Structure 1
Amino acid sequence: MSKLSLPKDKIKIVLLENVHDNAVAYLRSHGYENIESHKGALDADDLKAAIADAHMVGIRSRTKLSKDVLASAEKLMVIGAFCIGTNQIDLHEAQCRGIPVFNAPYSNTRSVAELVLGQVIMLARGIPRRNWICHEGGWDKSAAGSTEVRGKTLGIVGYGHIGTQLSVIAEALGMKVRFYDIVDKLALGNAQSCASLRELMEVSDFVSLHVPDTTQTRNMITATEIGWMKPGSFLVNAARGKIVDIDALAEALRSGHLAGAALDVFPVEPASVEDVFESPLRGMKNVILTPHIGGSTQEAQANIGNEVAEKLVKYSDNGSTVGAVNFPEVMLPVHKGGSRFMHIHRNVPGVISRINDVFGRRGLNIVGQYLRTDEKVGYVVVDVDGMIEPGMGVRRELEEIEGTIRSRFLQCEEP
């Protein structure tokens, strides 16, 4: 068992936005009982008050952890984003404060892929317009504009976790799959890669976007790229809202160049259910609009709860930063019968030698040392033999090293 520098019953965890019960159950099963839950997101002032004395914070997509908010949480040591995206967190500020951020990049891939495939089928059959007609009392049984997806080409932009999952299930329906990614990827099944984005847009009957929100992908799909698409083809975006120029898409739909579209994400999304959703695509009968629900299934949220809670526990119990999005990743073995020190510092020369000097002057034998750095910070974990006696002042002296951001320690007893 491990004794933290702060006992587990003293570690306060704040969870917001209805984080799944699986997360709470996992945390409690590992000894973390001081958990405060909030059903929704909080505005900046209420959020500051809620996390002022929190050691761990768990959020979803609506909670904004800005620089100002993070400055109010002096005890905060780790953040869990119970979702894929982390744009709602000031990752740079969190890193500068020595706070790793963990998310769930894998747990909702199936849910998103299923939604996209469902939208592809609905668009191919002209369901948005036919559904609208029925609601208005009409009855259009014509097969005009209605096709099977079998034999059609699905172009996937971004062949990562969701893109590959979509590739597999689309091919099972008899679709031809082409994909484009800036990184060379191994094709699954009979999927074939495209040499350029333009090639993919030109050969696909349906184009589905699965790229992250970065400076390279923002406004990636403009009037130019839409112009490359086949006349009568369809665009699906369940990735990030700022990837597509919505005005250009609306114009392509009005002109008839595109036969339809489905969007689950938007450049500007309502902050709450009380706010009005505004988009130039509203009212278009050949467009499916969904409120950012790609990963909103019971199965996905349950999986996310487990995945992120596990990462939070591993960091708190063991110091592992595997899966952190803003931090050097260190995979650590379990250390028994000794003490483990974790030191986060600015990435400047000489820190490691001064850390080792602290242990050397006390005659503490280092049995393991794990160091990773990035451009801004360094993270070193030092395992030493034996228990650290009270009054040795190891942690205090480590924190006095120039460039230190924060430090922690664990007493690792034999089970």
Structure 2
Amino acid sequence: MITRKKPELLAPAGNLEKLKFAIHYGADAVYIGGQQFGLRSNAGNFTFDEMREGVAFANKYGAKVYVAANIIAHNENLEGLHEYFKELYDIGIAAVIVADPALIQACREAAPDLEVHISTQASVANWKTAEFWKNEGIPRVVLAREVSVEEIREMKEKVDIEIEAFIHGAMCISYSGRCVLSNHMSARDANRGGCAQSCRWKYDLFEDGIDGTEPISELANEQYSMSSQDMSMVEYLPDLIEAGVDSFKIEGRMKSIHYVATVVNVYRKIIDTYFEDPENYKIDPEWIDEIWKAAQRSLTSGFYYNEPTEKDQLFGRPARIPKYDFAGLVLDYDENTKIATIQQRNNFGVGDEVEFFGPNFYHFKQTITELWDENDEPIDRAKHAMMITKVRLDQPVEKYNMMRKGK
């Protein structure tokens, strides 16, 4: 019988809207980026005022907010560190995620009570490294994506430290994100927040030593010779629970609110179902179907069970992935008329089959038979971005439920 406490479900939040949806759909904690010292310079990073609002919202629901400050710093990046960490502590950030010892030192000097977690960028992949950080007073390490389930089990057996591990999202072709391809290809430093995603580009391959021949990559339909499939542990989460993982991390600060809500919703359901009755836990095929509705690439379990092979890359014929558009956000629902007020996020209209979903894995499908604009005038389609519409529904919905449709 498993007596272990529930692992934390940690979700990405690229902006304030995504933070609120992640928590609303079941995240125990979110990680965000500030406007300095993070690795996602193109994400909708948070101002200090937005952080305050995010922390207040999280506190209301018993959730935590972490800030990623995980650049590999050069001399020019050191200015302002102390003031930054002091401000994060005053705002109420629960922890910072850091890779560079210079930033750890600055945080401890400026805000000694602000918890520090070691980023996946530090490539923690063995129990001795985990022990090193434990002895340095670090309470949690975010593991390299290159570790196996058995290696995690051994770490937990030998070191009393919290382990955070990725369970879903993009995989980096380089070792724990330590990439210089972007620097070389586009003069954008991946380790200081400027990654150009060079590994996601298409490349031609030529046979070594032979000039003037046709590229051998023409034999494949897609020339993604370096691009990895995305990680998904939706079918294997109990293995990580039993190995002792303390925090399950979802990648995707630059993904949509549809992605965040869908993926968090699925893993929340899996975790809760497992702990209700571990001995009789079974995977529900509907959870797998649901995760595919937010997938952008084929899915793999990464390094958790075996060394990845060419089958875990995108090279070759692409898999058929179900395509769904996030079509609308529920703003209100009238129980008497059964009419929902919906903010349009993608074109939809009368005759379309749509699916509504919300927290706690609430789902239903229906065909739209009646549609009005915000002035109660009948319309056939909601064509304009963010327009307010009204739809009669077969089942009740709540504010922040979402509507999607297949492509």
Q: Smaller-chain TM-score range?
A: under 0.3
TM-score by length of 2: 0.26
Give the TM-score normalised by structure 1: 0.26
Structure 1 or 2, whichever has the larger Rg, is 1
